[in-house]
Chains A and B, each alone.
Chain A
Amino acid sequence: MFRNSKGIFLIIILVIVGLGIILTPKITIGSFERGEKNSPLGLKLGLDLEGGTHLVYKFMPQEDQSFTSEDVEGVRKIVEKRVNEFGVSEPNVQLLGSNPPDRLLVQLPGQKGLNLTLSFNGNTVQTSTIENFFRDKIGISSTTVSQNEDTSYTVNLEDVDEDLLTGDTTSINPETIQLWQKQLSEKFPVVIHFSYINPDLIEDKSPSETESKSNDAEPTDYKFPTIDEVKHVFDSFELEKAEIEMLQGAEGTFSAVIYGLRYDGQISQVQDIKQSLRELGNLQFFFHEGDITQWTVGGGIQEAKRLIGSTAMLEFKYRECGDLNNVDPDIPWPPDGIPQAAWEFERCNNPTYYNETATEIDASDLVDAYPDISQNLNKPIVQLVFNDGGGEAFYEVTDRIAREDDRLAVYLDGDELVAPYASTGIAGGRAFIEGPGFTSDTTRTIAIQLRSGALPLGLELTQERNVDALLGEDSLRRSLVAGSIGMVILLVFMVSYYRIPGVVSALALFSYAIILLSIFKILPVVLTLSGAAAVILSLGFAVDANVLIAERTKEELRAGRGLLAAINTGFDRAWPSIRDGNLSTIIVASVLFWFGDRFGTSIMQGFALTLVIGVMLSMFTAFFASRVFLRAIASTPVGKKTGLFMPVSDEIENSGRS
């Protein structure tokens, strides 16, 4: 009995924990995150159940070269890897056509709605404020906003009205973007503080003079811009509203709160305003915050798509930074009044101050690039491997960089990826890049982007459409309801035919379902249609195990054993067949899993994995849960009525015989 109560306790705990896992929409423990938004019970759904993006690419050989089946298989592998690395769940990357295949099919599941990446200068906006803005002002009810590490915000918008989208329904049309940006800037003000300085004061101030002297100096008759002049400047920008104040007692110092600043996709109007303000006088100080600095529509799928299709013109450029120290004593250095401390950054990061020239390193020289963790630094890094020729060129470039304190700028399709420096010339063709802001996510992305330079064939997107879920939401729901009806009929049958063992089976099956779903959520297992079929099959096995046990127990009772003995013997007798049947199934499933990656789709593996988990668990519940429950009931007063432990037909038979 003691063992029994412990067993029941364990199962109850498992079921409660399982229920908790299933019913909690999103589980977050540190970096451990599980649970999907807006999917039933937070389970991950595959493309066939959830729908997703369906892309077809055409292989584009360079300069009319022919390509072989091996080439395209190479491309397929690269693309598959890229997509996998990007964290798109259960993608399908398949070759189409024959001898050699000429197209590539990529199916990316999930990703409902659109992702908008937003940044504001100064990072002063609350995520909830943005969420409320999209919900109330724009009218998109299912909006979720999260802040990224680089202080940008990711806004996920669902059920965006189709009118607002472009034809392929994956991006917002330009008019909508303009409208949203307008509304956003009307809601979120940009604050600018700026001040002018009397140029005479600067000239007067020479190093030889003491500070007190310059303070005592008579103010010259410099005329600061008036508030009206400043207002006039702002008026010329046709803003929604601009509140401009001059700071009390500080002539030439203003603050402006402006609404309706436009953002043209590259540079916000703030720079134009600055330029115009400069024309009024000697602008000394200009500070602005709250203006949009980034606005990209896209997200997981868009991002992955960009990576897949990027034909990836990878360029290694030599970046000759601005001189660190003054070369010509007649020119004030650093230039443009930049403080010495900031200059060290600016000289290599501001395009105004550096020059770039091509290097001997060719994109095709890069053999591999992969994310790694540095053993010494314990930081995420990107490992690079060059071929012999590339290795030599790389040594020459890094050697010069190290000597002259310059940079190696790496560009992908014209966008700067990284611009690392080198402390010494790196020989041997192997190197790594580290950076202060590198996370394992950034190194992974950079590695993918670097590797894409090695893509042997170009890819051109020829077809893109959003796939509806294979079943359709309605069909899926109806099937689930029907399945539940079937389950209820089954349980009614089990209870009315097998009676107490039937009730126990029902309890065991309930525990089984709860624990199985929670395992799926925790691992997580992507639920596809084939996975669902495996669940049904394993559920069938779980029922079967209970039927076997009930039948065996019945036989033992009929043979005249006492109830507890009959239950124990019944279980022992049923065990070999449950074990052998289930193990055979596990063998089949394992082989299918093993072979699964030979198939173009993930069907086999999804089915096999789900089946293995389901069958193992069904063995556990049938044998552990059912036994514990049955023995517990047998030890209560109900146990006195042995007939309740036998099927209906048998009781009649028995009473007939006696």
Chain B
Amino acid sequence: MDFIGKRIYFLTVSMVLSVIAVVILFVPGLNLGIDFASGTSITYKFEGGDPGLSSIRNALEKSGHGNAVIQKSGTDEYFVRTTDLGDTGKDVIDEKLREIQDVKLITLATTSVGKSVADDTVKNAVIAVSVAVLFVMLYIMYAFRSVPESYKYAVAAILALVHDIVIVLGIFTILGIVVGSEVNSIFIVGILTTIGYSVNDTIVIFDRVRENVSLAPNRAFRANVNISINESITRSLGTSVTTLTVILAILLFGGVSLRDFLYVLLSGVIVGTYSSIFIAAQILVAWDSRGIFFWRRKI
């Protein structure tokens, strides 16, 4: 199969998807969990009867918190998360909730989280991932030193990785809107897992390229890459399918609480496999034949 000839389509599709992903990351943005968004979360207990989810939502809308997250956490307990309530906000909500029906309202817990925690986490995550990426690039340059211009492999692998992270974030933004998936600590773990998977998958294909380039240095680079893709595609798909089997099994039959995490893994594995074949390897070829501004030139 000729994968190389169609690279303009793959690269274009990925560029478009990445741009869309970046845009929706700003607006509307990820659905941040309480760990990461600033706001207030309150656990209420309604002693003497369960007022029902809809009447609580009504009460919150009346008090000006239509976007609040409301979860039932016990027979008569509700977890409510809102934007920062300030000094008087909670009293307003309490008042409206008391109007629902004749039940005794007890506040079990109130937690407010400042924005700084979230900012720090994001900042640290970005630094950590950047340093990790830098070291991986150095390692790839070293490991691929037998082939000419090994830095290109390093850059291509990292571009594929960034692509994967961006797309997965985009997918998660959409999931946040559609099924209310939230960014929490487990989400971060999912992204980390995606990073590990993506790098590994790309390296397996690059390893084939390295081997083929060493075996037939005089063959055209694009031909070598194409042969490498064809040779390793069974393995790439094989590994993805087996991994996806396990993830899907847990997603379908496992507990609900892991759902968001598994969505990240699922999209991470799919995108990671796709990018190693259709992005990482293609960037190598494009860079080799056309320079870095590959999308401007005709093939």
Task: List residues of chain A with CB under 8 Å of any chain B CB.
Answer: 48, 56, 94-99, 101, 463, 465, 470-472, 474-479, 481-483, 485-487, 489-490, 493-494, 497, 529-530, 533-534, 536-537, 540-541, 543-544, 547-548, 551, 555, 573, 576-577, 580-585, 587-589, 591-592, 594-596, 598-601, 603-604, 607, 611
For the complex formed, measure the closest distance between the CB of B265 and the CB atoms of chain A, giving whole angstroms.
8
Given the complex of chains A and B, what is the CA–CA distance between A628 and B139 in angstroms? Answer: 30
Can you name 30 A-B pairs with beta carbons within 8 Å?
Answer: A94-B117, A97-B113, A101-B116, A463-B109, A463-B111, A475-B256, A482-B253, A482-B254, A486-B248, A497-B238, A529-B186, A533-B190, A533-B261, A551-B232, A576-B210, A577-B203, A580-B139, A580-B143, A581-B204, A583-B139, A584-B139, A585-B199, A587-B136, A588-B196, A596-B128, A599-B124, A599-B125, A600-B117, A601-B185, A604-B188
Given the complex of chains A and B, what is the CA–CA distance between A250 and B135 in angstroms? Answer: 89
**Which A residues touch B101, using CB under 8 A?**
none
For the complex formed, measure the closest distance between the CB of B213 and the CB atoms of chain A, giving whole angstroms.
13
Q: Which of B197, B199, B208, B242 contacts A547 (CB 8 A)?
A: B242
B239 close to A547 (CB less than 8 A): yes
| Least CB separation from B249: chain A residue | A486
Given the complex of chains A and B, what is the CA–CA distance between A594 and B203 in angstroms? Answer: 23
**Which B residues touch A555, using CB under 8 A?**
231
| Least CB separation from A94: chain B residue | B117
**Which A residues touch B210, using CB under 8 A?**
576
B235 within 8 Å of A by Cβ?
A: yes
**Which A residues touch B206, using CB under 8 A?**
580
| Least CB separation from A573: chain B residue | B211
Q: Which of B125, B127, B246 contacts A483 (CB 8 A)?
A: B246
B246 close to A487 (CB less than 8 A): yes
| Least CB separation from A554: chain B residue | B234
**Which B residues touch A96, using CB under 8 A?**
111-114, 117
**Which A residues touch B234, using CB under 8 A?**
551
B200 close to A581 (CB less than 8 A): yes
A588 close to B235 (CB less than 8 A): no
A603 close to B258 (CB less than 8 A): no
For the complex formed, measure the closest distance between the CB of B256 and the CB atoms of chain A, giving whole angstroms.
7
Known A-B contacts A471-B258, A580-B207; A603 and B189 likewise in contact (beta carbons under 8 Å):
yes
Q: A533-B192, A595-B127, A599-B124 given. 6 additional CB < 8 A pairs?
A: A478-B255, A494-B242, A547-B235, A584-B203, A585-B199, A588-B199
| Least CB separation from A470: chain B residue | B257
Given the complex of chains A and B, what is the CA–CA distance between A529 and B250 in angstroms? Answer: 14
**Which B residues touch A537, using CB under 8 A?**
193, 196-197
**Which A residues touch B255, using CB under 8 A?**
471-472, 474-479
The A interface, classified by DSSP as helix, strand, loop or mixed, is helix
A544 close to B193 (CB less than 8 A): no
A582 close to B242 (CB less than 8 A): no
Q: Which of B114, B117, B120, B196 contacts A589 (CB 8 A)?
A: B196
**Which A residues touch B253, using CB under 8 A?**
478, 481-482, 485
Given the complex of chains A and B, what is the CA–CA distance between A548 and B261 in angstroms? Answer: 27
Given the complex of chains A and B, what is the CA–CA distance between A483 and B248 in angstroms? Answer: 9
For the complex formed, measure the closest distance between the CB of A212 and the CB atoms of chain B, giving whole angstroms.
80
| Least CB separation from A577: chain B residue | B207
Report which residue of B185, B248, B265 has the largest number of chain A beta carbons within 10 angstroms of its beta carbon. Answer: B185
B16 within 8 Å of A by Cβ?
A: no
**Which A residues touch B108, using CB under 8 A?**
465
Given the complex of chains A and B, what is the CA–CA distance between A444 and B111 in angstroms? Answer: 33
Give the interface size class of chain B.
35 or more
B243 within 8 Å of A by Cβ?
A: yes
**Which A residues touch B183, using CB under 8 A?**
none
**Which B residues touch A581, using CB under 8 A?**
199-201, 203-204, 207
**Which B residues touch A482, using CB under 8 A?**
249-250, 252-254
For the complex formed, measure the closest distance between the CB of A568 and the CB atoms of chain B, giving whole angstroms.
17
Q: Which of A486, A541, A576, A595 contacts B247 (CB 8 A)?
A: A486
**Which A residues touch B190, using CB under 8 A?**
533
Known A-B contacts A471-B255, A587-B136; A580 and B203 likewise in contact (beta carbons under 8 Å):
yes
Given the complex of chains A and B, what is the CA–CA distance between A471 and B260 in angstroms? Answer: 12
B121 within 8 Å of A by Cβ?
A: yes
**Which B residues touch A607, using CB under 8 A?**
189, 192-193
**Which A residues touch B186, using CB under 8 A?**
470, 529-530, 533
Given the complex of chains A and B, what is the CA–CA distance between A487 and B136 in angstroms? Answer: 30
The list of the 3 closest CB pairs from A to B, nearest first, reads A475-B255, A98-B114, A486-B249
B124 close to A595 (CB less than 8 A): yes
B169 within 8 Å of A by Cβ?
A: no
B 223-242 to A, binary, CB cutoff 8 A, 1 in contact else 0 = 00000000110110011011
B 34-54 to A, binary, CB cutoff 8 A, 1 in contact else 0 = 000000000000000000000
| Least CB separation from B132: chain A residue | A591
Q: Which of B111, B121, B261 contacts A599 (CB 8 A)?
A: B121
For the complex formed, measure the closest distance between the CB of B158 and the CB atoms of chain A, giving whole angstroms.
11
Known A-B contacts A96-B111, A479-B255, A576-B207; A587 and B250 likewise in contact (beta carbons under 8 Å):
no
B204 close to A577 (CB less than 8 A): yes
Given the complex of chains A and B, what is the CA–CA distance between A601 and B117 in angstroms? Answer: 11
A485 close to B243 (CB less than 8 A): no
B245 close to A490 (CB less than 8 A): yes
B59 within 8 Å of A by Cβ?
A: no
A465 close to B239 (CB less than 8 A): no
A547 close to B238 (CB less than 8 A): yes
| Least CB separation from A473: chain B residue | B255
A98 close to B116 (CB less than 8 A): yes
| Least CB separation from A649: chain B residue | B234
Given the complex of chains A and B, what is the CA–CA distance between A547 and B120 in angstroms? Answer: 40
Given the complex of chains A and B, what is the CA–CA distance between A587 and B113 in angstroms? Answer: 33
